[in-house]
Amino acid sequence: MPVLSYNVEAFCRDVVSYYGDSATRLISQSNPEREEIQLAALQYRFRQLRETVPMLKKLADNEGIQEISEIEDVVPLLFDHSMYKSYPPSMLYESRFVPLTKWLSKLTNVDLSGFDASKYHTLDDWMMGLYHNTPLNVVNSSGTAGAWSFIPRSKPDWERFMQYYRVVYLQRFGEESPAEQFPLNLHVLFPYFRSGAGYLLMNELYVKYICGGEERFHAAYPGRLSPDVVLLTQRMRAAAATGDLDKLEISPELRAKRDEFVKLMESRDEHAIRFFDECSKKLRGERVFMQAVPAMLYQMAATGLERGDKGLFARNSIVNSGGGTKGTVLPDNWEEVVKEYLGVDQLNVPYGMSEMMCFCPRCEYGHFHIMPGVIPFVLDPETSKPLPRTGRVTGRWAHYDLNVESHWGGFITGDEVTITWDQPCPCGRSGPYLDKQIRRYSEISKGADKITCAATQAAYDDAMDFLTSAEI
């Protein structure tokens, strides 16, 4: 492998700037060059985080891993999805945020010892307290029965995430046009709540970088969404399914907020259609930025086309979708319907997840291309051992995200993917890419989504005991 001239610290600080803010250069590097700088960056991150992220240190000590020599050396240190929701659920239900903070502190290099969690009594207040008093804006991802993941991502990491928008969504591959500069001064159409903790704080970045001012941000619900309400809704749904609803102790105030939220969500699709209809009347022909799940976009478009309306916005508007169909069966041509109604020539439907900062954009051949800031792995679904990094391979998706510096970026997912390592895509982009067909192992068979950590069982169990011993 040739010795390259590169600045690994600059690469880790801002991958997009390292490639000259160019979508074309970002995804045109040869595989040997890409893998060499990725290995150097992985070694840099490991040296940076090994002693400062307590959970990583515990697992690395247990495995006897002091350094990374090859990319696959990191596989025993990849965290599985249960890591970020391994706290006792009672901490959430009983608002015990002191031990929850202690648990969270073991997953980040951010010092939380000075954060007084004892003064917070709701999930919303705790998350916003972290946001206002520490470098963190915690990523929350809600699962069934109130099983929430909390990923300790820093505000600088979020700022770095926004840089991808400048090239991945605003440039065309193969065209060396200059990167658009922030703020873009575009109108943002957001079919959800304006404010809230966690992911809804992304809206502040949209205002800063995309809108250039609050007056250009249009939310379907101008108010604030409390994560406590969402959590309670999930708990009540799970309790009703098991016949335990009458055992839940709920304050009248929180129950009233929950009932109001449920009522809003019951008419969410109809409300979204009205919202986009109103926005289209005010902003017709303008370049806009919008993001919505596929089912909502399709329903909105199908309803609009039935009325004879189409071509609402400028063709170079930025329309992002993703997150799956949420159980809705969409026609094969749903994307064409959406594009016709909105009047745009491109619909961005990338592959990504909460645990990966940089999404994989989809090319015109339906392939998801992996950005150089993400090291991909395909693992044996039974053992989580790495499969060959050559040819075309199907297995469990895992990755190391080199973009994050506030927590360990290694993660094993529940997704089955097929990756092509070394056969060029007809679109001209270089590097490995994923087939369009991606599914959850839980969809294949019952229990298939259970992840076996690649670390030795004793080392993993001891590390998990260390992580979950957060009670006081």
Q: At what angle do helices 334-342 and 294-306 cross, to 10 degrees?
A: 60
In terms of Cα–Cα distance, which of 287, 299, 343, 297 is closest to 320?
297
Tokens describing residue 281: 């009347």
Interval 247-273: pLDDT, tens? 788 878 788 888 888 888 888 888 888
The structure tokens 């101008």 sit at 222
pLDDT band at 470 (very low <50, low <70, confident <90, very high): low
Question: What global pTM score does this model have?
Answer: 0.92
Please determine, for residue 4, whether its predicted confidence score (pLDDT) is greater than 50: no
Q: Which has the closest alpha carbon to 421: 47, 21, 14, 35?
A: 35
How far is Cα 56 from Cα 65, in angstroms, rounded to an integer?
A: 10
From the number of C-beta atoms within 10 Å of its C-beta (0-12, 13-18, 19+), residue 430 rates as middle
How far apart are alpha carbons 460 and 472 in whole angstroms?
23
Q: Does residue 472 register a pLDDT over 60?
A: no
Distance of alpha carbon 277 from alpha carbon 275, whole angstroms = 5
Distance separating alpha carbons of residues 191 and 188, to the nearest angstrom: 10
| CATH architecture under which domain 1-85+154-224+265-472 falls | 3-Layer(aba) Sandwich (3.40)
Give per-residue pLDDT as tens, 174-232: 887 777 889 999 999 999 999 999 989 999 999 999 999 999 999 999 999 999 998 88
Coil, strand or helix: which one is 40? helix
Higher pLDDT, 109 or 295: 109
Q: Using an 8 Å Cβ cutoff, are 264 and 293 in contact?
A: no
- d(Cα 347, Cα 335) in Å, to the nearest integer? 7
Whole-angstrom distance, CA of residue 114 vs CA of residue 102: 11
Chain segment 87-124, per-residue pLDDT in tens: 998 898 889 999 999 999 999 999 999 999 999 999 99
| Residue 53 pLDDT exceeds 80 | yes
Mean pLDDT in residue range 23-28 = 92
The answer for residues whose C-beta is within 8 angstroms of residue 7's C-beta and 6 or more apart is 18
- Residues 377-428: tens digit of each pLDDT: 999 999 999 999 999 999 999 999 999 999 999 999 999 999 999 999 999 9
Cβ proximity of 205 and 159 under 8 Å: yes
